[in-house]
Amino acid sequence: MTSNHASGSHHGFLSFSACEPQRPKCALRLTSRFLKPARCFRAFFKWMMSEEMIAKNPVLAVKPIKIRKELRMPFSQMEIDILQISCSSVKMRTMLELFLSSGARVNEISCLDVMDLDLEKRVIHIREGKGNKERIAYISDVAAYYLREYLQGRTERNTPLFFGNPGKRMKANGIEKAMKQLGKRAGVENVHPHRFRRTLATTLARRGGMPVQQIQQILGHANISVTMRYIYTADSDIESAYNKCI
């Protein structure tokens, strides 16, 4: 194979890979670490066959790797209580309460402006949701209270809700870092913004009995099957529901 052909083939593979349908990221760390190279090999040999460079795809003989699923647990009420009392500022508590009650993604929280809040109705307008979709998210009385405290003295509404340094909109990675630091200070493990979404979904389903279709709308999921994966159901809940029906 000449260098020019090799170069052209290389670019051809990159183009082919870009067109390959990508599976959604799995919730398992082991999958991301060990199975991602396997997907690359499959795509590479599939491309080689499409270019008629090989007659048989050797990866087809490799059996899929099965990994035991790891449950992604929501926060317990005790962990939430500890996080709340560990907040070192009104800003941190406001951020925490928004995550706990709105189900918003970290990027959505970062993009919020003051004008997106309606504290009287206890709603926030998410204008830059995933897939550029807008939606309404609801907040608790506690979140509304801390938002009022945090916004005292702020007169301009067309400004970012959360500022970072120096005086610019707080980026998503800055918010993630703040939550991680809060977890470290509180002694609570695995504190990250996405876990709050799982916690809210589980709380709405278990305590409020909210239909999964409504939880889907609150979280902004396009596919209800994704919402189902967010809701943690304990064995005791299943047993209780079973006993009520028998």
What is the domain-level CATH number for residue 139? 1.10.443.10
Q: Is 145 a catalytic residue?
A: no
Considering 93, 105, 195, 198, which one is annotated as catalytic?
105
pLDDT of residue 54: 87
Q: What is the CA radius of gyration of the chain?
A: 23
- Residue 151 counted as domain residue: yes
Catalytic residue among 91, 185, 194, 206: 194
Residues 171 and 222 in one domain: yes
Instruction: Return the pLDDT at 71.
Output: 64
Same domain, 91 and 199: yes
Residues 13 and 37 in one domain: yes
Residues 83 and 37 reside in one and the same domain: no
Concerning whether 207 is annotated as a catalytic residue, the answer is no
192 and 85 within one domain = yes
What's phi and psi for 123, nearest 5 deg? -135, 155
Report, as ranges of residue numbers, the positions in the chain whose pLDDT lies below 50: 1-3, 5-7, 13, 16-33
Indicate the number of domains in the chain.
Answer: 2
Range of the domain at 46: 3-61
Q: Cα(226)–Cα(231) distance, rounded to whole angstroms?
A: 9
Q: How far apart are CA 244 and CA 238, in angstroms?
A: 10
pLDDT of the residue at 141: 96
Residue at which a domain ends, from 31, 61, 91: 61
Q: Is residue 57 part of a domain?
A: yes
The whole model's pTM is what?
0.69
At residue 11, the pLDDT reads 53
Residue 245 lies in a domain: no
Q: Are residues 46 and 10 in the same domain?
A: yes
pLDDT at 24: 41
Is 11 one of the annotated active-site residues of the chain?
no
Annotated active-site residue in 93, 150, 195, 230? 230
Query: Within this chain, do residues 189 and 104 fall inside the same structural domain, yes or no?
Result: yes
Which pLDDT score is estimated for 32?
46
